[in-house]
Structure 1
């Protein structure tokens, strides 16, 4: 099945995926947030298939410039749920691909930091997973 996504749909997917990486990076403000963001973004840009094509498109992603982690989460967590709903309606396999791609990006980001993830990082990962599963 082929995805039929509008420009707004694509923006939702990019906001959700890159926003999840931004949330993880922001939750690790005392560690290496730049490394998390870089490695997570590279993983997203390396995705393949229909989801990979959407994530690779070069466009400004609105809403990822929150001044606080809470402000960013208010925008990104609903986008994650919306992205999963949108993809499940069109192609459940692509929804699972998206979920897996976001998970790999988060793993890549967290893996780039030194030491074990702290409680804030672990909790943010849980919130992201909950948002992905809320669909």
Structure 2
């Protein structure tokens, strides 16, 4: 299956998925943000199907801002937009994208010793809410 995605569509998907990992990394900063980002990135680059082909590259030229709030202002709407776009074009790929992002945030959260921090748990909830808003 192939998707008819424009360059802007691909940028939206990349911004959403890679931005979700960045949000988890920012939320886990008390632990090891590098490990959080590494585990989330591995999950994204392990994606399959048309979504996997899009997510093999991180977005270029995206301005995430200087704070976690700025980052969330870009990423959370991009997650919803990505889901809307994929639901219109290929519902199975919307499920693939959602599952890929969920695996990435779960992989990110598991890098902490024991349970994820409350901050990471709340960020994961916000990401999931944005995915499901479409």
Q: TM-score range by the shorter chain?
A: over 0.9
Moved over 2 A (4+): none
Task: Count how many residue pairs are aligned between Structure 1 and Structure 2.
Answer: 134
Q: How big is the alpha-carbon RMSD for the aligned residues of Structure 1 and Structure 2?
A: 1.3
Q: Which residue of 2 aligns with 1:5?
A: 5
| Displacement of 1:130 | 0.4
Q: Distance in 2 between matches of 1:126 and 1:59?
A: 23
Return the alpha-carbon distance in structure 2 between the equivalents of residues 20 and 58 of structure 1. Answer: 12
Q: For 1:34-76, what per-residue CA distance to the aligned partner results, in whole angstroms no more than 9, with x for missing partners? A: 1010110011011111000000146515133x21110100000
- Determine helix, strand or coil for the equivalent of 1:16: helix
Q: TM-score, normalised by structure 1?
A: 0.94
| TM-score normalised over the length of structure 2 | 0.95
Unaligned stretches of 5+ residues in structure 1: none
Q: Does 1:122 align with 2:121?
A: yes
Q: How far does residue 111 in structure 1 lie from its aligned partner after superposition?
A: 1.3
The alpha carbon displacement at 1:32 in A equals 1.3
1:130/1:33 Cα in 2 relative to 1: closer, same or farther (>3 Å)? Answer: same
| Structure 2, unpaired ranges of 5+ | none
| Residues 5-24 of structure 1 mapped to structure 2, 5 A cutoff | 5-24=5-24
